[in-house]
Amino acid sequence: MSNVVSLDLPRRKSLPERQALLLQNFACHRRSSDDVFWLKENAEILNILATGGAQLAGAALEPYTQVYDGLEERLRFFPQYYRFLLSICLDLEDLGLGKDKGTALCHWASQAGVAEAELSDLQRAEARRLLSRRGIEQEDRGLTERLHRFVNRSDTFALPNKKAAYELTHIVFYLSEYGAKNPHLEEAALASLEFAGLLAYLDQDVDLLAEICVAMRFAGHFPSLIWEDWIAREMGGFVLRANGAGPTDAYHEYLVTSWWAGFADHSSFPGTPSDAGLHIDRHVSRRGPLRAMSEYMFHLGSARRGDWERMRQGLTDAVGDDGVEILFGAEQSSDRFGAFFEGFARAGS
């Protein structure tokens, strides 16, 4: 007869438990709710959970009760933050807190014309999407056509321009209503997503590449396995510490990669948050060769060529051993790599 020794080993918290701890930290322990960055961070995590289909216990949203109860006053006094405030309100309701306050707030925002203060088509598209979630349709002739014209200009996305790349992903989010409907992207727009993804992979930018992979899935297309396998590996580099937010906090990379993981059948929200403080670090495995590629091509001057096969050897020598592996991985990840490189080279400029 053998003796069985029972050990009280620590139990890894379930996904809903980890999500509840994350919400508690974002709501209460990282920043003051009077800070605009509190609005930004909490709008982001709630949107990721709501659009990712999270199933939260009611208690997980209790830290937001006071904020939810005071949203009318906040919106009237801070209409410049209406997109954050409406997003927080609607996502809280969709996740299970409160009922129909969002409808009244959307009607108020529409009647007050807050979206008319926007100069950006991207922000107008976000406003339109927010109001439409409670059945309010915004008139903006030509907005959808302008958004499609922007995403169809593939040459834009063959050049390093993170602002344009993030605008591309968000346009797809809004046109698809975060995967709820077909955004009707043309082939040129799909090429834009692939070009932007190649740049993000060459830069080893996990945040941007995760967003691009989500946008491609919302458009009904599977991203490169090379890209997604790399994102999955990089998720192992997050470290959760029990203190507050800081200037180098990697919270956004953590949230966006976990959002992607939920759509790609990978484990999401790695690590176990503390219940009284959260700072997210990320250990980066290596730097990408994008900068070295750009510098090499620039200094070639009139010797630049848009033919990848002709430029391959010179770039191989310029980017170093780690860079070569990433560069050739990018080449293998997309049938459009040659077309991308032609735009990236700017040989005819």
Give the pLDDT confidence of 15-67 residue by residue, as tens digits. 999 999 999 999 999 999 999 999 999 999 999 999 999 989 879 999 999 99
Angle at 72 between CA 40 and CA 46, to 5 degrees: 30
61 close to 107: Cβ distance less than 8 angstroms? no
When mean pLDDT is compared across 265-269, 284-288, 330-334, the lowest value belongs to 284-288
Phi and psi at residue 320, to the nearest 5°:
80, 175
Mean pLDDT, the chain, as a whole number? 94
Exposure class string for 99-130: b at 16+ Cβ within 10 A, else e: eebbbebbebbbeeebbeebeebbebbbbbbb
Question: Considering the chain, what percentage of its residues have pLDDT values greater than 70?
Answer: 95
Cα dihedral 216, 222, 224, 228 sign = positive
Look at residue 5 and tell me whether its pLDDT is greater than 70. Answer: no
Task: Give the mean model confidence (pLDDT) for residues 216-241.
Answer: 97
Q: What's the predicted TM-score (pTM) here?
A: 0.94
How buried is residue 5: exposed, middle or buried, by Cβ count under 10 Å (0-12/13-18/19+)? exposed
Phi and psi at residue 190, to the nearest 5°:
-65, -40
Token pair, residue 221, equals 């297309």
pLDDT digits (tens, 9 = 90+) for 279-310: 999 998 889 999 999 999 999 999 999 999 99
326 close to 293: Cβ distance less than 8 angstroms? no
Residue found under tokens 């993804």: 197
Look at residue 13 and tell me whether its pLDDT is greater than 90. Answer: no
